[in-house]
Every structure is written in C-alpha cells, then in structure tokens.
C-alpha cells in the first residue's frame, strides 16, 4: 500500500510540475536556454576535453562535453566502462551553494562526496555532473526561492510562488554521454524515482537503484521532509 501511495504521489508530482512549467526571468549567463526550460539537445559532435584528475577521494579521468556557450557536461570516470553492464553511476545536478560553499540547506555536497567514495571503492563507475543549478531554475532564482523559504514556504511552494517549475532538469545529455562511453546499463546512485523514470524514458537501461541516505541537520530537515513527502524521494 505504501509503495502504491508513493507511486501515485510521484505521478501527481510529475503532472503538477508539467502543468507549472513556464517562461521565467532568471538571471544567468544570458543564454536563452536558461530561461526557456526547454530540453537541451545534446551536442552531436562535442569537442571533448579529457585529463587525469587526482582527488582526495581517489583518481579519476575527467571528461568535459561542451553543450553550448554557457554549459558543459562534466564526467568523472573510474576504471574501464566501455561495454560494461551495471556501471555504478551518479547523475548529479550542479549545486553551487552546496558543492562549493558547503551549504547545510541541502544534502547535495554530502551526496556528491559519498558518490565519489562509492565509485572509488567499487573500482569502476561514473559521475555525471550536469550544469542544472537549482533543479534547472538557475542560481539567482534558487537564492530568491531560499528567501521565500525563510518566510515559511517549502522548496516546492517557493518555486511556484516565483512562477517557476518545481523541477525542469533534463537528462538528454546523460544518455548521450553514456552512449559515447559505451555503457550498456547502470546502477544509479539516487533516492529520486523521478530521475530513474526520466533516464529510462531516454532509453537508458537502469539495472538497479543504489540508495544514498545522508544525515539530516537542523537547516535541511524541512527540505528533506518535503522531498520525501511531496516529491516522492525514498528517504
């Protein structure tokens, strides 16, 4: 019964969000794509950049696939993934406040670091880092939403109050990257059923879900509660 309720809640969330997607005046680099929320078509012939990247979590190969003048898709690869099945994979959307400034308002940086540790321990795996700040609304709008959250709104209510979609992320570039890398199927590190749904719609073979539950704190407790109760995250 619990699983059925969660499925219905997730379905309703998708329908509500699709209905709420519209043009928004978000501040950013000036690219029209940032303001339209239309799916970003993957580059057909990317000018790929790659190098060795040692980190405090382990050593990876870093690849950068240009998408447009404002965005790149960044990929960290561990081990040999060409032709591999069940590749441990994290699809991580940019969170400047969390990933860079260690914000405690979310669990983004903690999830990213944990994912790097998991891939390193596994010996093979992929981190796909998408430039989709604030679930696609951009940094300035995310900060505007934070201001509304300080007045009592949750993350969904704040986005809607600003006339923005709850989640406008697009995963087309993930499908493109995995195909370029020759990956046959993945084990996805996520708590978000909608991410699995979105990737499967693009033809990605998601073999299994790998949970990534991080400890909450007094600053992100409401945010995580909203993700669980309104967005169907498996927390």
Active-site positions? 167, 169
Helices (H), the chain: 2-20, 32-36, 108-122, 133-136, 139-149, 155-161, 172-181, 193-201, 221-231
How many angstroms separate the CA atoms of 168 and 129, rounded?
16
CA 87 from centroid of its chain's CA atoms = 17
What is the DSSP code (8-state) at residue 100? Answer: I
Rounded Cα distance, 65 and 49, in Å:
7
Distance, C-alpha 102 to centroid of its chain: 17
How far from 72 is each of 46, 88, 198, 219, 235, CA to CA, in Å?
A: 10, 22, 20, 30, 30
- Give phi and psi for 101, each to the nearest 5: -100, 5
β-strand partners of 127: 76, 90
Sheet containing 125-130, strands listed edge to edge, beginning at the edge strand earlier in sequence: 49-55, 58-66, 72-78, 125-130, 87-93, 186-189, 206-210
């Amino acid at each position: 019964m619990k699983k059925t309720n969660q499925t219905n809640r997730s379905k309703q969330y998708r329908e509500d969000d699709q209905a709420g997607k519209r043009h928004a005046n978000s501040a950013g680099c000036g690219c029209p794509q940032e303001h339209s929320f239309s799916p970003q078509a993957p580059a057909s012939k990317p000018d790929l950049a790659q190098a060795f990247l040692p980190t405090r979590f382990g050593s990876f190969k870093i690849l950068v696939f240009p998408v447009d003048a404002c965005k790149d898709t960044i990929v960290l690869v561990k081990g040999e993934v060409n032709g591999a099945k069940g590749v441990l994979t994290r699809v991580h959307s940019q969170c400047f406040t969390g990933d860079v400034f260690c914000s405690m308002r979310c669990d983004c940086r903690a999830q990213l670091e944990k994912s790097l540790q998991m891939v390193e321990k596994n010996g093979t795996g992929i981190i796909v880092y998408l430039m989709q700040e604030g679930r696609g609304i951009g940094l300035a709008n995310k900060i505007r939403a934070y201001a509304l959250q300080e007045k009592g709104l949750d993350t969904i209510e704040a986005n809607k109050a600003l006339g923005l979609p709850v989640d406008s992320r697009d995963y087309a570039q993930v499908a493109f990257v995995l195909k370029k890398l020759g990956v046959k199927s993945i084990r996805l590190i996520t708590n978000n059923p909608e991410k699995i749904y979105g990737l499967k719609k693009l033809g990605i073979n998601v073999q299994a879900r790998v949970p990534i539950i991080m400890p909450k704190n007094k600053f992100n407790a409401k945010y995580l509660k909203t993700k669980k109760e309104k967005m169907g995250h498996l927390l």
